[in-house]
Amino acid sequence: MSRLALALLPLLTACHQEVEDLGAPRLVTERTAELASIVDGNSAFALELLAEVSPDAGENVFLSPFSISSALAMTYAGARGDTASQMAEVLHVDVADAVYHAQFGALTRDLDGDQGRPYTLNIANRLFPQVGFTLDAGFLAIQDQDYGAPVQALDYVADAEGARGVINGWVEEQTAGMVDELLGAGAVSADTRLVLANAVYFKADWASRFALDATADAPFQTPSGSVQVPMMHGSVEGAVGWADGLSVLRLPYLGDEVSFVALLPDQPDGLGALEAQLSVEQLDVWLAAAHEGEVDVALPRFELRTRAQLKEPLIALGMVDAFSGAADLSGIGDAPLYIDSVVHEAVVRVDEEGTEAAAATAVVTNELSMGPMFRADHPFLFLIRDELTGSILFMGRVADPS
């Protein structure tokens, strides 16, 4: 099973199908050029981020690119200057900001909900500012109108741990308990001024379920050798195709609005090469070539969970200033802010009945110190020096202060 297909799962509801075929109660009636810009940009960001978060094709990973894009889009609404330019490039924003936020909001409202649908897909956003921290009126309007993000003030200064508990409790509730501690100990502090949070929960049955009694242990070739896994078997309705040294599988969930897609290289060690050639356009080509009908499928039953700190991957993609003293998030509120961390957790369970998945993302912003910042969060040298003579009295290296 391709881990790339798993990483794309929460995004597939927004991917490249004709939205006019999806039916009530979906809100979007056509895939306009502006909507396509948002979806394609999110998909391109997803593929680039996967390569940075997990460059080793031999390890499991599961992300919700839509959750991450949502939290960063909310933050982008308050970015200015070079910080905004860098974020726009990383997020693939190629329309005017007002259009971007409006279309992202429309997409979110369309995807969110379970009323009248045979599956559940719930998306929630929330702002958790410091008590007394004044948020910019324009920023608040975007959060309210486009992202449906209510404000819940917390007191990080007086009780950072209590505030962390409130945020984690909200995430746990929104994800049906699947993500119960998004923010670990110390993730917020007395310097925190705003946490922007997103949560996504998805649950759906297969359009054609796998029979429980057909599941049996079978070998699965990993990079380090063969292991025995519970393998589901069945002849189910779906689509399959072959191209460029790989097999493509699409399994619809009930209602055929959302699908599970697997990209399987022909060779057991071919996943790295597959990921290297993957793009939004290439994914479209492979899916378009798949043939609809009854497919004989053998698929492992599995559960994956990934916790990721996204600061370094986002910096590597070009979002540099937002995490430094050069950050310009002046559109958020009345204090100079920088992004201290972007935390993500995602979990998925795939079994004979269907799929359950949840994810959450938090962007933690802290207040900048008034002077230049020096943050010794990695190995450093130090001296004890006589200033009158310049004599170095002591000298050391701190590689592990624990």
Q: Tens of pLDDT along 163-190?
A: 999 999 999 999 999 999 999 999 999 9
Element (H, E) at 168: helix 156-174
Is 16 within 8 Å of 39 (Cβ atoms)?
A: yes
- Residue identified by tokens 């962007």 is 363
- pLDDT (tens digit, 9 = 90+) per residue, 130-142? 999 999 999 999 9
Q: Which domains does the chain have, with CATH numbers?
A: 3-204+302-367 (3.30.497.10), 212-300 (2.30.39.10)
Residue 8 confidence (pLDDT): 38
Residue 9 confidence (pLDDT): 38
Angle subtended at Cα 395 by Cα 389 and Cα 401, rounded to the nearest 5 degrees: 145
Name the residue among 325, 210, 251 with its Cα closest to residue 6: 251
- 23: tokens are 């039916």
The pLDDT of 296-322, averaged and rounded, is 95
To the nearest whole number, what is the mean pLDDT of the chain? 88
Q: d(Cα 17, Cα 46) in Å, to the nearest integer? A: 18
Residue 3 confidence (pLDDT): 38
- 53: tokens are 């978060």
| Residue 314: pLDDT over 60 | yes
Q: d(Cα 85, Cα 344) in Å, to the nearest integer? A: 23
DSSP per position, 272-339? HHHHHH--HHHHHHHHHTPEEEEEEEEEE-EEEEEEEE-HHHHHHHT--GGGSTT---TTTBSS-EEE
Task: Kindly indicate the confidence band of residue 376, based on its pLDDT and cuts at 50, 70 and 90.
Answer: low
| Residue 13: pLDDT over 60 | no
Residue 374 confidence (pLDDT): 57
Q: Which amino acid is at 393?
A: L
| Residue 38: pLDDT over 90 | yes
Separation in Å, CA 248 to CA 2, 267, 287, 336, 366: 10, 14, 7, 48, 44
Residue 30 confidence (pLDDT): 84
pTM of the model: 0.88
Q: How many CB atoms lie within 10 A of CB 170?
A: 18
3-class DSSP assignment, residue 388: coil
Q: For residue 311, what are the β-bridge partners?
A: none
3-class DSSP assignment, residue 228: strand
What are the φ/ψ torsions at residue 214 (nearest 5 degrees)?
-95, -10
Task: Kindly indicate the confidence band of residue 377, based on its pLDDT and cuts at 50, 70 and 90.
Answer: low
The pLDDT of 62-90, averaged and rounded, is 97
In this prediction, what percent of the chain has a pLDDT beyond 70? 90
Task: Kindly indicate the confidence band of residue 162, based on its pLDDT and cuts at 50, 70 and 90.
Answer: very high
